[in-house]
Structure 1
Amino acid sequence: MMLWSRTLHAGGVDDERLRADYTTAAHYMARMEPFTYPALRAVLPPAWQPHLLAAFAFAGRTDDLADLPPTRRHSGGFHVWAEQTEHGLTTGSSTHSLLRAFLHTVAVNGVPHAHVRDYLAGQARNLSFVGFATDEDYYRCLDSVAVPYLTLICSSRRPGATDRVSHSLLGLVADAAQRVDDLADLAADLRVGRLHFPQTTLTCFGVTRADLESGHQTPAVRAFVTHACRQARTVLDIAQDALRHADAEEQLLLYPSLVAKQHLLGGIERQGADITRRTVTLNILPSPTELLGGTLRTLHARMRVATTYARP
C-alpha cells in the first residue's frame, strides 16, 4: 500500500488545501467503511484512490442524510447538503472540505454534473420511502438511487472514465448488492420501521410485516427467506458472470465488492430465517481457494490496467 502523501501526488493532488480536503474524505471513509477502505487502498491504482475516496465520501454523506428510518426522518439536513452541492457545481467552490475534494474530482476527471444531480434526485425521492408495493417499485428505486450511485463512483476514478461506464453491468451489480444488503439488514431495518421487500412478494408467501417483526420462524417465513436468498444468489451469479466479460478497469473496481457480497450471502444462507432477529455480518475470512482465486483475478486485472496506461 503506497503512502497516502504519495497517493495524493499520484492522483494529481498537490495543492496543500486540497490535500487536506482529500485527507478528510479518506478519514471519513475509513470510519464509515472499515472493510472497504483498506481494500480500496490495497487493490486500486494509486492515481484513482484520492478521487474514488472523495466520491465515496460524498455519496456516503448524501446517503446518511437521506436514508433515515421513518421514526427519525427529516429532510432539512439533506436539502441543505443538496443546495451546497448545487452551489458548488455552479461556482466550483465550497466551504465544506469533503465537498471541496469531491468538486475537484468532478472538475479534473470530467464527471458530468448530470451524474451528480441524478444521484441527488434519487436520494431526494428516498426521503419519502415507505416501502415497495410491487417488484416494479423496487426496480424503479434501484434505477433512481443504486445505479446512479455506482455510475457516479465509476465515473470519478480518472479522466475519461465516464465514456467506459457500462450501465447494463452497473444495473446487475447494483441489483445483486441491494438484494444481499436487504437480507443482511432485515432485522435492523425491521427494528426502525423499514422493509425493503415488495408487498406482493410477502403476500405470495402469506407473510405479513408483523410476522417478520415478531421474529417467529414459521414455515411461511422460512419459505420467504429461502426464496429471497435464491433470488439474491441468482442475480449475484449473473452479475459475476457479466463482470468476467467486462473490461479490466470495471473488473478491478467492481470485483472486490461482489466477492464481499458473495461471502455475506453465504452467511445469510447459513443463518436462514433467523435473519429476522439478528443482523448478518460479513465474514472476512475467505477459504484458501477463494483467496487465491480472488488474488489472481485482481492481479490480472491490475496488470491489464497498467498495460493500458502504459500504451502511447
Structure 2
Amino acid sequence: MVLWSRTLHAGGVEDEPLRADYTAVAQYVARVEPLSYPAMRTVLPPAWQPHVLAALAFAKHTDDLADLPPAHRHGGRFHAWAEAVAHGLTTGSSPYALVRAFLHTVAVNGVPHAQIHDYLAGQAGNLSFTGYATDEDYYRCLHSVTVPYLALPCISRRPGAANRINHSLLRIVADAAQRVDDLADFAADLRLGQLHFPQTTLTRFGITRADLESGRQTPAVRAFVAHACQQARTVMDIAQDALRRADAEEQLLLRPPLVAKQHLLGGIERQGADIIRRTVALNILPAPTELLDGALRTLRARVRVATLRARS
C-alpha cells in the first residue's frame, strides 16, 4: 500500500487545502466502508485512488441521506445536500470537504455533470420508498440508484473513463450486489420497517410481511428465502462470468467488491431462513484456492493496466 501523501501526488493533488479535502474523503470512506477501503488502497493504481475515493464518498453520503427507514427520513437534509452539490457544480466551490474533493475529480477527469444530476434525482425518488410492488419496481430502482452509485467511482478514476463505461457489466454487477445486500440486511430491514422484496413474489409464495416480521420459519418462508438465494446466486454467477471477460481496468475496480459479495452470499446460503431473524456476518476468510485465484487475477489486471499506461 503506497503512502497516502504519495498517492495524492500520483493522483495530481498538489494543492495543500485540496490535499486536506481528499484526506478527509479517505478518512470518511475508511470509516463507512471498513472492508472496501483497505482493498481499494491495496489494489487500485495510486493515481486512481484519490478520485475513486472522492466519488465513492460522494455517492455513499448521498445514499445514506436518502436510504433511511421511513420513521427517520428527513427530506430537507437530502435536498439541502443535493442543492449544495448542484451549486458546487455550477460555481466550482463548496463549504463541504467531500464535495470540494469530488468537484476537483469531476473537473480534472471529465465526469459528466448530467450523470451526477441523474444520480441525485434517482436518490430523491428513493425518499418515498416503501417497498416494491413488482419486479419492475425493483429494476427501476436498480437502474436509477444502484447502477449510478456503482458507476460514479468507475467513471471518476481517470480522464476519459466516462467514455469507456461498460453499462451492461455495471448493470449485472449492481444487480448481484443489490440482491446479496437485500438478503444480508433482511432482519435489520424488517426491524426498521423496510422490505426490499416485491410484493408479487411474497404473494406467489403465500406469505405476508407479518409472517416475515414474526420470525417464524414456516415451510412457505423457507421456500421464499431459498428462491431469493437462488436468484442471487444465479445473478452472481452471471456477474462473475461477465467480469472474467471484462477489460483489465474494469476487473481492478469491480472484482474486490464482487468477491466480498460472493463470500457474503455463501454465509447467507448457510444461514438459510434464519436470515429473517439475525443479520448475516461476512466470511472474510475465503478458501485458499479462491484466495489464490483472486490474487492472480488481480495481479494480472494490475500488470495489464500498467502496461497499457506505459504504452499510452
TM-score (norm 1): 0.99
Quote the offset at 1:204 in angstroms: 0.5
Deviations 1:201-255 (A, max 9, x none): 0000011101111111100000000000000000000011011111110011001
CA distance in 2: counterparts of 1:283 and 1:152, whole angstroms: 27
Match for residue 173 of structure 1? 173
Quote the offset at 1:28 in angstroms: 0.3
CA distance in 2: counterparts of 1:202 and 1:72, whole angstroms: 26
Deviations 1:154-212 (A, max 9, x none): 10001100111101110000100000000000000000000000000000001110111
Secondary structure of 1:305's partner? helix
**1:132–1:198 contact (8 Å) kept in structure 2:** yes
Match for residue 145 of structure 1? 145
Quote the offset at 1:121 in angstroms: 0.5
Deviations 1:16-65 (A, max 9, x none): 00000000000000000100000000000000000011111111110111
**1:10–1:46 contact (8 Å) kept in structure 2:** yes
Quote the offset at 1:95 in angstroms: 1.0
User: Is 2:199 the counterpart of 1:199?
Assistant: yes
**1:186–1:279 contact (8 Å) kept in structure 2:** yes
Quote the offset at 1:301 in angstroms: 0.5
Quote the offset at 1:260 in angstroms: 0.5
Q: How does 1:73-222 map to 2 (within 5 A)?
A: 73-222=73-222
CA distance in 2: counterparts of 1:164 and 1:27, whole angstroms: 29
CA distance in 1: counterparts of 2:60 and 2:255, whole angstroms: 20
Q: How does 1:1-312 map to 2 (within 5 A)?
A: 1-312=1-312
CA distance in 2: counterparts of 1:18 and 1:246, whole angstroms: 33
CA distance in 1: counterparts of 2:23 and 2:297, whole angstroms: 29
Quote the offset at 1:71 in angstroms: 1.2
Quote the offset at 1:308 in angstroms: 0.6
**1:115–1:151 contact (8 Å) kept in structure 2:** no
Quote the offset at 1:74 in angstroms: 1.5
Q: What is the aligned-residue RMSD (CA, Å)?
A: 0.6
Quote the offset at 1:288 in angstroms: 0.6
Gaps of 5+ in 2: none
CA distance in 2: counterparts of 1:259 and 1:70, whole angstroms: 31
Secondary structure of 1:213's partner? helix
CA distance in 1: counterparts of 2:117 and 2:235, whole angstroms: 28
Secondary structure of 1:45's partner? coil
Secondary structure of 1:158's partner? coil
How much identity, in percent, do the aligned residues show? 79
Quote the offset at 1:152 in angstroms: 1.2
Secondary structure of 1:207's partner? coil
CA distance in 1: counterparts of 2:51 and 2:307, whole angstroms: 21
**1:21–1:97 contact (8 Å) kept in structure 2:** yes
